[in-house]
Structure 1
Amino acid sequence: MIGAALVAGVEEIAVVNLARIGWQAMRGRDPEEEHRVSTPLELFFDLCFVVAVGQAAAQLHHTLDEGHLGGGLAGYAAVFFAIWWAWVNFTWFASAYDTDDVLYRVLTLLQMSGVLVLAAGVPAAFQDYDFTVVTIGYVLMRISMICHWVRAAVEDPAGRATARRFAIGIAVVQLGWIARLWAPGTWVYVTFVVMVLAELAVPVWAESNRPTRWHPEHIAERYGLFTIIVLGEVILGALTAVQSAFAEFGLSPALIMIAAGGLVLVFVVWWTYFAAGEPRLHSLRVALTWGYGHFVVFAAIAALGSGLEVAVDTAGHHSHISDQSAAFAIAVPAALVLVALGLLHRLAGTGAMRNFGFVVAGAVVVLALPFSAPLIGLGGAVVGMAAALVVTLVVNCRGAGSGVESRA
């Protein structure tokens, strides 16, 4: 009795002293916690990541302007994966283990530093296919996650086995990314695919032991807020392009139609995403599919902004591509995000986008409209795409509820 009381007293003193220096034991948060919302640190974290998203989108814009489609898309996909995957890993970890103490904040700062290093290396990755700086930034972010998981393994006995798997898996994969910098010739592409598959496999392997205690509503909100931030980056980039074109050439019918059609496109994407209530992420399979599927959503939304900028440049005769090619730069990401959101809504059982046939039909119409650009002009094609998305949204959301129940 005396020994047990003594041990309890020592533990209580230790907890108090650790609290005084800003340390909170990482025991895992309650997945049923009421009013679980994004923290200011998480929002700051998102803003740092969207800087890298903006860099990737800007470089895609420039490569498309030059007509370098293949190299631009490959570089964009590679860079965007690094940004997205680091964001996803931290988001799900924070949903389960956010202590918001000093060490947690310092390690999160390291991750934010890593994404800024990655962003600095984006131009070299696109222009010279030199991924050295991007890899350094990515590995920095992943080292931060390894430290987070090691801490969880030490402080949370219940989740120790899963945390160890995450730490070991991430560490081994990072060694592979570093070794890949010396891959010769075609092995650069082969090893990239292998490493991506390895990264995606780590959570599946780790969570199969004992799933982490992530919060479904918190995860849904985090994805929704990041979607809004990426949409904001799209609007900022498009506005900058329109301002530049207006300052040099003044208003033109084509510029007005591209700007108006582009704004409607972005607004409809937002409405489609938030067309119903919270997604029901009640199983690991659904949650992983929802989380992984957002790679297409985020990448397509950011690419849509690049396409709008390309269209503005083409209307002002600043690009080296045709009106039809510029229209495809908008149509392809718009169709991708429409189909991806349709599938994700069905997966998560939100009740929105209930008629997937109309979703596919809308995507087909959007992809067909660029062929009409030589006849109706680039501006007319963009307005037509916006109209197609509006019709698709109206048909799917009619009778599905009040329209929008924002998670933000």
Structure 2
Amino acid sequence: MTNAVERYRHGLSPMRGRSLHEQHRAATPLELLYDLVFAAAFGVASTQLVEGVAAGHGGAAVGAFAFAVAAIIWAWINFSWFASAFDTDDWLFRVFTMVQMAGVIVLAIGLPAMFASLEEHGAFDNRVMVSGYIVMRVGLLAQWLRASREPAYRRHALTYVLFVAVAQIGWVIVAWAPLPLGAAFAAAAVCWLIELGGPVVAERKGDGERRGTPWHAHHIAERYSLLTIIALGETVIGTLAAAQEVSHEKGWSGDTVVVIGAGVAMTFALWWSYTVMPSGPILAVHRSRSFVWGYGHAFIFVSVAAVGAGLHAIGFAYRHEDPLATPVVILMIAIPVIVFMVSVALLHSYLVHSLMRGLLLHAIAMILPLLGIVLAFGGLPLWVCLLVVLAGPVLVVVAYEAGGWRLAQRHLDEALGGAVTGRPHGAA
């Protein structure tokens, strides 16, 4: 009967730090539900980017997209690291998490207004977005205040409370003060620095195993992997949208087949190359490498979502009225693919503290998306350029599976310092 009570009871529990060495720690159903809201937010941002570029507001749309996705990612990061360290799964934790989810929905509702303000008026209207952030901060601050009742982590929690509260006040000022566009961006940059600085300061407090909050290495690695998959969902949605538009304009032609095939293959190739990164084992042994790894993932998330928007833009290239030029579409796909490939390679090298030497194919793979851009400006058909861009991440996968994994394994063994690499998932 004890197990049944533990399974169904969600009464209040003291919020103490989770064990660093907890076995078989995995994402919870609540965390997966939380991610679902972010899938919708990514979708809104990607759609706004495509529509902005198609309307001739490319520069403003790209800037708005970068700001929007950065805000979405940061909201996700705040919750995920907290939950990894302090998740109690009691009813109050669930309620405060759902409050944060509601804030994400409000933030997503505000994205079109923010895009429109930059594209049409050169202003910066993020009031609805900030309103969503206020809702999220209410839930997050309440969680940190609960955690502050644990003496071992009181200093950490209160430091987070201070930084989150100060940053939120700054965002309110940016949203509602009548600032010129340049001043608004400068103030927003200050707010971002405060946001990013909170974890840097808080995680340096304490000594030994009490240094920093007790996040779980394998759990947080899985959480980041899951958000990468969420972002990759935009490549599937973009492929479907493009295929529908191309088939509507041209019927089921060879172009339609190439769009579908290349989009699906792009999703597989990006996912496959990402899974090469040995995040969990390295973070379990070298926790200090989490800052660069965690913040560096922002480039991965942004680039993957942008690839989805680029694949969607293919459909706009086949419109009868005002079609997007092939170079524009290829730029929208190739540039984020390059950012993704470089980010994964750099983060992988940072984690193992060794450059991926001896893999010439990796260097060639980085060049292929650039070649796709050159071919697009040279007047080649879109489908040819798209396949050349796709060849980049595909070649990374081929290089790894054809033997590059041996070098990667050697680097991993050296980074772990002789630790056993085949431990069960969840063992730190």
TM over 0.5: yes
- The answer to whether the aligner puts 1:162 opposite 2:159 as a matched pair is no
| Partner Cα separation in structure 1 for residue 10 and residue 243 of structure 2 | 51
In the TM superposition, what is the alpha-carbon distance from 1:369 to its structure 2 partner? 1.3
Q: Which residue of 2 aligns with 1:191?
A: 187
SS at match of 2:197: helix
- The answer to whether the aligner puts 1:306 opposite 2:309 as a matched pair is yes
Q: Deviations over 1:28-87 (max 9, x none)?
A: 100100000000000000001111111111101111222322101110111111110010
| Partner Cα separation in structure 2 for residue 138 and residue 357 of structure 1 | 45
Amino acid at match of 1:74: G
- Match for 2:386 among 372, 382, 388? 382
- The answer to whether the aligner puts 1:139 opposite 2:134 as a matched pair is yes
| Partner Cα separation in structure 2 for residue 351 and residue 259 of structure 1 | 37
CA change 1:90–1:54 in 2 (3 A) is same
Q: Which residue of 2 aligns with 1:233?
A: 234
Q: Which residue of 1 aligns with 2:29?
A: 40
Q: How does 1:366-405 map to 2 (within 5 A)?
A: 366-373=369-376, 374-399=378-403, 400=405
CA change 1:354–1:50 in 2 (3 A) is farther
In the TM superposition, what is the alpha-carbon distance from 1:353 to its structure 2 partner? 5.8
Q: Deviations over 1:142-162 (max 9, x none)?
A: 2211111111002x1100111
In the TM superposition, what is the alpha-carbon distance from 1:139 to its structure 2 partner? 2.2
Q: Deviations over 1:76-131 (max 9, x none)?
A: 11111111001001000000000010110010010000000011111111012421
Q: Which residue of 2 aligns with 1:122?
A: 111
SS at match of 1:189: helix
| Partner Cα separation in structure 1 for residue 292 and residue 359 of structure 2 | 18
SS at match of 1:315: coil
SS at match of 2:380: helix
The answer on whether the counterparts of 2:273 and 2:393 sit within 8 Å (CA) in structure 1 is: no
In the TM superposition, what is the alpha-carbon distance from 1:305 to its structure 2 partner? 0.5
Amino acid at match of 2:317: T
SS at match of 1:398: helix
| Partner Cα separation in structure 2 for residue 318 and residue 267 of structure 1 | 33
In the TM superposition, what is the alpha-carbon distance from 1:255 to its structure 2 partner? 2.9
| Partner Cα separation in structure 1 for residue 356 and residue 316 of structure 2 | 34
Amino acid at match of 1:44: L
Q: Which residue of 2 aligns with 1:51?
A: 40
In the TM superposition, what is the alpha-carbon distance from 1:358 to its structure 2 partner? 4.6
The answer on whether the counterparts of 1:135 and 1:177 sit within 8 Å (CA) in structure 2 is: yes
| Partner Cα separation in structure 2 for residue 162 and residue 338 of structure 1 | 35
SS at match of 1:167: helix
| Partner Cα separation in structure 1 for residue 324 and residue 15 of structure 2 | 54
CA change 1:329–1:203 in 2 (3 A) is same
The answer on whether the counterparts of 1:311 and 1:326 sit within 8 Å (CA) in structure 2 is: yes
RMSD between aligned alpha carbons? 2.6
The answer on whether the counterparts of 1:358 and 1:395 sit within 8 Å (CA) in structure 2 is: yes
Task: Give the TM-score, by structure 2 length.
Answer: 0.85
SS at match of 1:33: coil
In the TM superposition, what is the alpha-carbon distance from 1:284 to its structure 2 partner? 4.4
| Partner Cα separation in structure 2 for residue 260 and residue 152 of structure 1 | 48
Q: Which residue of 2 aligns with 1:172?
A: 166
Q: Deviations over 1:269-289 (max 9, x none)?
A: 000011254441134441011
Q: Which residue of 1 aligns with 2:88?
A: 99
| Partner Cα separation in structure 2 for residue 249 and residue 379 of structure 1 | 14
| Partner Cα separation in structure 2 for residue 226 and residue 350 of structure 1 | 25
- The answer to whether the aligner puts 1:150 opposite 2:145 as a matched pair is yes
The answer on whether the counterparts of 1:22 and 1:102 sit within 8 Å (CA) in structure 2 is: yes
| Partner Cα separation in structure 2 for residue 124 and residue 54 of structure 1 | 15
| Partner Cα separation in structure 2 for residue 120 and residue 288 of structure 1 | 30
The answer on whether the counterparts of 1:121 and 1:133 sit within 8 Å (CA) in structure 2 is: yes
Q: Which residue of 2 aligns with 1:214?
A: 215
SS at match of 1:205: helix
The answer on whether the counterparts of 1:325 and 1:370 sit within 8 Å (CA) in structure 2 is: no
SS at match of 1:177: helix
| Partner Cα separation in structure 1 for residue 160 and residue 359 of structure 2 | 36
In the TM superposition, what is the alpha-carbon distance from 1:354 to its structure 2 partner? 5.7
The answer on whether the counterparts of 1:276 and 1:401 sit within 8 Å (CA) in structure 2 is: no
In the TM superposition, what is the alpha-carbon distance from 1:245 to its structure 2 partner? 2.8
Unaligned runs of 5+ in 2: 119-124, 207-211, 410-421
| Partner Cα separation in structure 1 for residue 202 and residue 265 of structure 2 | 42
SS at match of 2:291: helix
| Partner Cα separation in structure 1 for residue 258 and residue 249 of structure 2 | 17
CA change 1:98–1:215 in 2 (3 A) is same
Q: Which residue of 1 aligns with 2:346?
A: 343
- Match for 2:78 among 78, 86, 89? 89
Amino acid at match of 1:192: A
Shifted more, 64-73 versus 99-108: the winner is 64-73
CA change 1:317–1:253 in 2 (3 A) is farther
Task: Give the TM-score, by structure 1 length.
Answer: 0.89
| Partner Cα separation in structure 1 for residue 74 and residue 359 of structure 2 | 28
The answer on whether the counterparts of 2:316 and 2:324 sit within 8 Å (CA) in structure 1 is: no
The answer on whether the counterparts of 1:61 and 1:306 sit within 8 Å (CA) in structure 2 is: yes
| Partner Cα separation in structure 1 for residue 179 and residue 193 of structure 2 | 20
In the TM superposition, what is the alpha-carbon distance from 1:248 to its structure 2 partner? 3.9
Q: How many pairs does the alignment contain? A: 390
In the TM superposition, what is the alpha-carbon distance from 1:341 to its structure 2 partner? 0.7
The answer on whether the counterparts of 2:334 and 2:373 sit within 8 Å (CA) in structure 1 is: yes
